[in-house]
Amino acid sequence: MAKNDKVIKEITSMEEDFAKWYTDVCIKAELIDYSSVKGCMIIRPYGYAVWENIQKIMDSLFKEKGHENVYMPLFIPESLLQKEKDHVEGFAPEVAWVTMGGEEKLEERLCVRPTSETLFCDHFKNIVHSYRDLPKLYNQWCSVVRWEKTTRPFLRSREFLWQEGHTIHETEEEARKETEQQLNVYAHFAKEYLAMPVIKGIKTEKERFAGAEATYTIEALMHDGKALQSGTSHYFGDGFSRAFGVQYTDKENKLRYPYQTSWGSTTRLIGAIIMTHGDNNGLCLPPAVAPVQVVVVPIASHKEGVIEKANEITKVIGKVARVKCDTSDQTPGWKFAEYEMKGVPLRVEIGPRDIENGQVVVVRRDNGEKTLVKMDDLANEIPKLLTAVRDGMYEKALARRNAMTYDAKTFEEMKDIADNKPGFIRAMWCGDRECEDKLKEELGVTSRCIPLENEEHLSDKCVCCGKEAKHMLYWGKAY
């Protein structure tokens, strides 16, 4: 090949093969690379920069609410993992075990943390003695390991990055409030920063976190109609405190067990971004987390003054957005395709005629809309356009989710939807585990959540057994 030795990348269309489209985007947008370590991925600079932006925003939202970051050990001794019965049952089957240190066999094997409740409890036992020591509002950014059989980039891998919040409180009320508050932080983050509509809800007992008394979730709907659990918040009651013997002296000098919560979100959010906003041209990034928010592409860049002017407006835009100017020797066509693939929210085209007219063409990634902007107005207009991109992305995703949400009153209706219409199914439920099991087995759907808002009374009867209904649930096939 000649000077321009890079070809425009091609990806499978999402209508042809959604799973293949997804992995194509992960690779071609240079988010990840596969590694020699089975089930583990490499997060490349572009993908990691998205994660860094997610971290930065979330971390400040957590700190605003008084949370502090800590770092706990990577390993959990087997005896510590076993202290809370439900918890160990949930996690032991899927952990990686360290059995050797150097040349020596360990006396007690250590698991690589799949989650850190047990370590936090062990620490709380050391540092919590009086009501004066409460609450502790902790968070940790780290990687965790779960030995999954089938894996997919960002969605399910043996190692993933996440944050796990762990808090401990004097009263049940305070802990419950914390659990709901953090769910709201996740929902706010998803909506405002990822332009991703989510259903806030509570999990059924079957879908609850191992050891929790209540699990809250935000559920998003992907392009292919599958649900993606995108963040969870758990209320533990005093179960972990009792199992680990964490006690404090209250104001009346009585010994009490404190109440705990935990809440987590992961690199899965990047998978959610891809499958909520992406299209057949590739990734489409929400401006708040895009590593590059604006790319400047000079047109006819061999003409005098074009590169200079492109660099000049890049500086101006750099004051209000994360910007990159691509002055490489690739063709404009190649550059357009490349930055579409990478989901850059805005493209600024600048050529000799634009310079004459004192204006540039700004193209939105989300809908292809072109706007002429006076060069003098760039510092004002770029932030407005970025906001418009976020709003447009959110509205589009919301409209699609609404169009893909169906109500079912009978088992037959539900079966018809499950078989033929990808999306959320809203249906009444009696509260029995057997009905959940049956719907999963026969229709392949799981209960996503009982919504916290807008729970509608669709019928008096459980969609499955016909007995008296207790709740309206969201159901769906899920990642």
Q: Which of 8, 12, 49, 176 binds a second copy (CB under 8 A)?
A: 49
Max intra-chain CA distance, the chain: 82
444: closest CA among 199, 208, 225? Answer: 225
Q: Which of 21, 138, 154, 235 binds a second copy (CB under 8 A)?
A: 138
Using CB under 8 A as the binding rule, whether residue 285 contacts a second copy is answered as no
Using CB under 8 A as the binding rule, whether residue 36 contacts a second copy is answered as yes
Can you read off the two tokens belonging to residue 312? 């000049």
Rounded to 10 degrees, the C-alpha dihedral 428/430/436/438 comes to: -100
Tell me the site size for a second copy, rule CB under 8 A.
56
Using CB under 8 A as the binding rule, whether residue 40 contacts a second copy is answered as yes
Alpha carbons 399 and 393: distance in angstroms, whole number: 10
Using CB under 8 A as the binding rule, whether residue 72 contacts a second copy is answered as yes
Looking at the Cβ atoms of 39 and 332, the one nearer to a second copy is: 39
SS3 214: strand
CB burial string 11-26: b at 16+ within 10 A, e below? bbebeeebeebbbbbb
Encoded one letter per residue, x for contact with a second copy by CB under 8 A and - for no contact, window 159-178 reads: x-x-----------------
Binding to a second copy, residues 357-396 (CB under 8 A): none
Encoded one letter per residue, x for contact with a second copy by CB under 8 A and - for no contact, window 98-137 reads: xxxxxx-----xx-x------x--xx--xx--x-x-----
Binding to a second copy, residues 5-34 (CB under 8 A): 5, 33-34
- The least distance separating a second copy from the CB of residue 427, rounded to whole angstroms, comes to 34
Q: Are 445 and 475 in contact (CB under 8 A)?
A: yes
Alpha carbons 135 and 168: distance in angstroms, whole number: 5
Eight-state DSSP code of residue 394: H
Q: Which of 26, 76, 228, 317 binds a second copy (CB under 8 A)?
A: 76
Using CB under 8 A as the binding rule, whether residue 80 contacts a second copy is answered as yes
Alpha carbons 128 and 60: distance in angstroms, whole number: 26
SS3 144: strand
Q: Are 285 and 277 in contact (CB under 8 A)?
A: yes
- The least distance separating a second copy from the CB of residue 56, rounded to whole angstroms, comes to 10
Using CB under 8 A as the binding rule, whether residue 95 contacts a second copy is answered as yes
Looking at the Cβ atoms of 83 and 396, the one nearer to a second copy is: 83
Q: Which of 13, 17, 89, 142 binds a second copy (CB under 8 A)?
A: 142
Can you read off the two tokens belonging to residue 345? 């929210």
318: left (phi over 0), alpha (psi -120 to 50) or beta: alpha
Per CB under 8 A, residues contacting a second copy are 5, 33-37, 40-45, 48-49, 51-52, 68-77, 80, 93-103, 109-110, 112, 119, 122-123, 126-127, 130, 132, 138, 142-143, 145, 147, 158-159, 161
